[in-house]
Amino acid sequence: MNEANKKAMVVGLLALVIGVALTALVYEWSIIPDREQQIEENLYSQIYNDIWQSAYNAGYSAGQAVTTRPASIDVNIVDSAFANFSATVDANGSVSTETTKTTYITIENPDDITAEDIYITLYNPLTDKGGLHDDLEVDELEAYITSGGIEYALFYDGDYTDGFALGDLASGGKANVTFKITLKEAVAGTFQDGQTYTCYVYVYQKNANYVTPIKFTVKT
Protein backbone atom coordinates (compact mmCIF):
# COMPACT_ATOMS: atom_id res chain seq x y z
CA MET A 1 0.00 0.00 0.00
CA ASN A 2 1.47 3.28 -1.03
CA GLU A 3 1.74 6.31 1.17
CA ALA A 4 -1.28 8.06 -0.32
CA ASN A 5 -3.53 5.10 0.33
CA LYS A 6 -2.36 4.87 3.91
CA LYS A 7 -3.18 8.51 4.49
CA ALA A 8 -6.58 8.06 2.94
CA MET A 9 -7.30 5.07 5.18
CA VAL A 10 -6.27 6.96 8.30
CA VAL A 11 -8.42 9.89 7.35
CA GLY A 12 -11.35 7.52 6.74
CA LEU A 13 -10.92 5.81 10.08
CA LEU A 14 -10.69 9.13 11.84
CA ALA A 15 -13.83 10.30 10.12
CA LEU A 16 -15.61 7.11 11.14
CA VAL A 17 -14.51 7.44 14.75
CA ILE A 18 -15.48 11.12 14.84
CA GLY A 19 -18.84 10.28 13.25
CA VAL A 20 -19.59 7.55 15.78
CA ALA A 21 -18.55 9.85 18.62
CA LEU A 22 -20.72 12.68 17.34
CA THR A 23 -23.63 10.30 16.87
CA ALA A 24 -23.24 9.01 20.43
CA LEU A 25 -22.96 12.54 21.76
CA VAL A 26 -26.05 13.71 19.91
CA TYR A 27 -27.95 10.63 21.18
CA GLU A 28 -26.82 11.28 24.74
CA TRP A 29 -27.87 14.90 24.51
CA SER A 30 -31.23 13.83 23.19
CA ILE A 31 -31.96 11.37 25.99
CA ILE A 32 -30.66 13.43 28.93
CA PRO A 33 -33.79 15.60 29.03
CA ASP A 34 -35.91 12.46 28.84
CA ARG A 35 -34.00 10.94 31.73
CA GLU A 36 -34.31 14.11 33.78
CA GLN A 37 -38.03 14.26 33.04
CA GLN A 38 -38.45 10.62 33.95
CA ILE A 39 -36.53 11.11 37.21
CA GLU A 40 -38.58 14.21 37.98
CA GLU A 41 -41.84 12.41 37.23
CA ASN A 42 -40.81 9.45 39.35
CA LEU A 43 -39.93 11.78 42.20
CA TYR A 44 -43.23 13.66 41.97
CA SER A 45 -45.07 10.39 41.73
CA GLN A 46 -43.37 9.05 44.84
CA ILE A 47 -44.05 12.25 46.78
CA TYR A 48 -47.70 12.19 45.73
CA ASN A 49 -48.07 8.55 46.66
CA ASP A 50 -46.44 9.16 50.03
CA ILE A 51 -48.71 12.12 50.76
CA TRP A 52 -51.81 10.25 49.62
CA GLN A 53 -50.90 7.18 51.66
CA SER A 54 -50.26 9.30 54.75
CA ALA A 55 -53.56 11.08 54.28
CA TYR A 56 -55.35 7.78 53.74
CA ASN A 57 -53.76 6.25 56.81
CA ALA A 58 -54.67 9.31 58.87
CA GLY A 59 -58.22 9.18 57.59
CA TYR A 60 -58.46 5.47 58.23
CA SER A 61 -57.14 5.85 61.73
CA ALA A 62 -59.56 8.69 62.37
CA GLY A 63 -62.34 6.56 60.94
CA GLN A 64 -61.42 3.76 63.28
CA ALA A 65 -61.60 6.18 66.20
CA VAL A 66 -64.94 7.60 65.17
CA THR A 67 -67.71 6.00 67.17
CA THR A 68 -70.82 4.40 65.73
CA ARG A 69 -74.08 6.27 65.29
CA PRO A 70 -76.12 6.30 68.49
CA ALA A 71 -79.54 4.73 68.41
CA SER A 72 -82.43 7.14 68.89
CA ILE A 73 -83.69 5.73 72.17
CA ASP A 74 -86.62 6.92 74.28
CA VAL A 75 -85.90 7.26 77.99
CA ASN A 76 -88.38 8.07 80.71
CA ILE A 77 -88.49 8.34 84.47
CA VAL A 78 -91.89 7.44 85.87
CA ASP A 79 -91.83 10.03 88.67
CA SER A 80 -89.19 12.74 88.42
CA ALA A 81 -90.13 14.08 91.88
CA PHE A 82 -89.91 10.69 93.60
CA ALA A 83 -87.00 11.65 95.88
CA ASN A 84 -88.99 13.76 98.31
CA PHE A 85 -87.24 13.58 101.68
CA SER A 86 -88.79 16.72 103.12
CA ALA A 87 -90.39 14.67 105.91
CA THR A 88 -87.14 12.76 106.50
CA VAL A 89 -84.64 15.58 106.92
CA ASP A 90 -84.92 17.44 110.21
CA ALA A 91 -84.78 21.21 110.46
CA ASN A 92 -81.17 20.93 111.62
CA GLY A 93 -80.21 18.81 108.57
CA SER A 94 -80.07 15.47 110.36
CA VAL A 95 -81.76 12.19 109.44
CA SER A 96 -82.97 10.00 112.27
CA THR A 97 -84.31 7.10 110.23
CA GLU A 98 -82.86 5.64 107.04
CA THR A 99 -85.34 6.25 104.24
CA THR A 100 -85.51 5.06 100.61
CA LYS A 101 -87.49 6.54 97.72
CA THR A 102 -88.06 4.58 94.54
CA THR A 103 -89.15 5.09 90.93
CA TYR A 104 -88.64 3.37 87.58
CA ILE A 105 -86.66 4.20 84.46
CA THR A 106 -87.71 2.85 81.09
CA ILE A 107 -85.56 2.71 77.98
CA GLU A 108 -87.03 1.87 74.57
CA ASN A 109 -85.28 1.54 71.23
CA PRO A 110 -87.59 2.38 68.30
CA ASP A 111 -84.60 2.86 66.00
CA ASP A 112 -83.60 0.37 63.30
CA ILE A 113 -80.15 -0.16 64.84
CA THR A 114 -79.05 -1.66 68.14
CA ALA A 115 -78.26 0.66 71.03
CA GLU A 116 -74.91 -0.78 72.02
CA ASP A 117 -73.22 -1.02 75.41
CA ILE A 118 -75.73 0.99 77.44
CA TYR A 119 -74.81 2.21 80.91
CA ILE A 120 -76.93 4.04 83.47
CA THR A 121 -74.81 6.38 85.56
CA LEU A 122 -75.28 9.24 87.98
CA TYR A 123 -72.44 11.24 86.43
CA ASN A 124 -71.97 12.42 82.86
CA PRO A 125 -69.25 10.28 81.23
CA LEU A 126 -68.58 12.97 78.61
CA THR A 127 -67.91 15.76 81.09
CA ASP A 128 -67.18 13.80 84.29
CA LYS A 129 -69.66 16.07 86.02
CA GLY A 130 -71.74 14.52 88.76
CA GLY A 131 -75.51 14.45 88.40
CA LEU A 132 -76.13 15.25 92.06
CA HIS A 133 -76.00 18.72 93.53
CA ASP A 134 -72.86 19.36 95.56
CA ASP A 135 -74.92 19.49 98.78
CA LEU A 136 -76.01 15.89 98.17
CA GLU A 137 -72.57 14.42 97.50
CA VAL A 138 -72.19 13.02 101.00
CA ASP A 139 -71.60 9.56 102.46
CA GLU A 140 -75.12 9.50 103.87
CA LEU A 141 -76.77 9.49 100.44
CA GLU A 142 -76.75 6.37 98.27
CA ALA A 143 -78.23 5.75 94.83
CA TYR A 144 -78.89 2.41 93.16
CA ILE A 145 -80.26 0.75 90.08
CA THR A 146 -82.02 -2.55 90.69
CA SER A 147 -82.31 -5.03 87.82
CA GLY A 148 -83.04 -8.72 87.96
CA GLY A 149 -83.13 -8.61 91.74
CA ILE A 150 -79.56 -7.25 91.97
CA GLU A 151 -78.66 -3.77 93.20
CA TYR A 152 -75.97 -1.77 91.41
CA ALA A 153 -74.64 1.32 93.16
CA LEU A 154 -74.52 4.59 91.23
CA PHE A 155 -73.37 6.67 94.22
CA TYR A 156 -71.84 5.07 97.29
CA ASP A 157 -69.58 6.21 100.15
CA GLY A 158 -69.58 9.73 98.77
CA ASP A 159 -68.34 8.72 95.32
CA TYR A 160 -69.80 8.06 91.89
CA THR A 161 -69.41 4.59 90.46
CA ASP A 162 -69.13 3.38 86.86
CA GLY A 163 -72.85 2.73 86.98
CA PHE A 164 -75.04 -0.11 85.82
CA ALA A 165 -74.13 -1.92 82.60
CA LEU A 166 -77.39 -2.70 80.85
CA GLY A 167 -75.70 -3.98 77.69
CA ASP A 168 -77.15 -3.90 74.18
CA LEU A 169 -80.76 -3.03 73.44
CA ALA A 170 -81.89 -4.35 70.05
CA SER A 171 -84.21 -2.52 67.72
CA GLY A 172 -87.71 -2.65 69.22
CA GLY A 173 -86.36 -3.61 72.63
CA LYS A 174 -87.45 -2.21 75.97
CA ALA A 175 -85.81 -2.23 79.40
CA ASN A 176 -87.24 -1.35 82.81
CA VAL A 177 -85.08 -0.80 85.88
CA THR A 178 -85.69 0.46 89.39
CA PHE A 179 -84.00 3.68 90.46
CA LYS A 180 -83.79 4.40 94.14
CA ILE A 181 -82.16 6.90 96.46
CA THR A 182 -81.54 6.31 100.15
CA LEU A 183 -80.79 8.79 102.90
CA LYS A 184 -79.01 7.06 105.76
CA GLU A 185 -78.98 8.20 109.35
CA ALA A 186 -77.12 11.50 109.49
CA VAL A 187 -76.01 14.02 112.06
CA ALA A 188 -77.09 17.65 112.14
CA GLY A 189 -75.73 19.74 109.30
CA THR A 190 -75.37 16.84 106.87
CA PHE A 191 -78.23 18.05 104.67
CA GLN A 192 -79.90 21.40 104.09
CA ASP A 193 -83.52 21.42 105.17
CA GLY A 194 -86.21 22.77 102.85
CA GLN A 195 -84.22 22.59 99.61
CA THR A 196 -85.17 21.30 96.16
CA TYR A 197 -82.27 20.20 93.98
CA THR A 198 -82.34 19.52 90.24
CA CYS A 199 -80.31 16.41 89.49
CA TYR A 200 -79.60 14.13 86.53
CA VAL A 201 -79.17 10.45 85.85
CA TYR A 202 -77.65 9.49 82.49
CA VAL A 203 -78.23 6.79 79.90
CA TYR A 204 -74.91 6.35 78.15
CA GLN A 205 -74.40 4.54 74.83
CA LYS A 206 -70.73 3.82 75.30
CA ASN A 207 -69.86 2.61 71.79
CA ALA A 208 -71.43 5.74 70.31
CA ASN A 209 -70.08 7.97 73.11
CA TYR A 210 -73.54 9.48 73.47
CA VAL A 211 -75.39 10.53 76.61
CA THR A 212 -79.11 11.02 77.22
CA PRO A 213 -79.80 12.89 80.47
CA ILE A 214 -82.85 12.30 82.65
CA LYS A 215 -83.81 15.10 85.02
CA PHE A 216 -85.25 14.53 88.47
CA THR A 217 -85.47 16.45 91.72
CA VAL A 218 -84.42 15.72 95.29
CA LYS A 219 -86.23 17.49 98.13
CA THR A 220 -84.73 17.70 101.61
More confident: 110 or 46: 110
Q: 9-45 pLDDT, tens per residue?
A: 544 544 554 554 555 444 454 544 445 544 444 444 4
User: Mean pLDDT over residues 37-65, rounded?
Assistant: 44
Q: How confident is the model at residue 216 (pLDDT cuts 50, 70, 90)?
A: very high
> Are residues 103 and 186 both part of a single domain?
yes
> Measured in whole angstroms, how far is the alpha carbon of residue 151 from the centre of its chain?
28
pTM of this prediction exceeds 0.85: no
High-pLDDT (> 90) share of the chain, %: 69
Same domain, 38 and 14: yes
In the predicted model, what is the mean pLDDT of residues 187-194? 97
**Could you tell me the CA-to-CA distances from 105 to 60, 73, 123, 195 in Å, in that order?**
39, 13, 16, 24
pLDDT of residue 28: 52
Asked whether 215 and 198 are in contact (CB, 8 A), the reply is yes
Same domain, 51 and 159: no
Show which of 14, 34, 66 is a domain's final residue. 66
Q: Let me know whether 28 and 97 are in one domain.
A: no
In whole angstroms, how far apart are CA 89 and each of 101, 140, 215?
13, 12, 22
Query: Is the pLDDT assigned to residue 7 strictly greater than 70?
Result: no
Q: What is the pLDDT of residue 36?
A: 53
Please tell me whether residues 111 and 140 are part of one structural domain.
yes
Q: Mark which of 11, 32, 66 sits at the end of a domain.
A: 66
Whether 39 and 78 share a structural domain: no
pLDDT: which is higher, 186 or 15: 186
What is the domain range of residue 36?
Answer: 1-66
Q: Are 64 and 199 in contact (CB under 8 A)?
A: no
Number of domains in the chain: 2
Asked if 120 and 59 sit in the same domain, the reply is no
Of 66, 86, 115, which closes a domain? 66
Mean pLDDT, rounded, of the chain: 82
Q: Which amino acid is at 193?
A: D
Pairing status of strand 196-205 against strand 174-183 = unpaired
Same structural domain, 106 and 207: yes
Q: Are residues 39 and 3 in the same domain?
A: yes
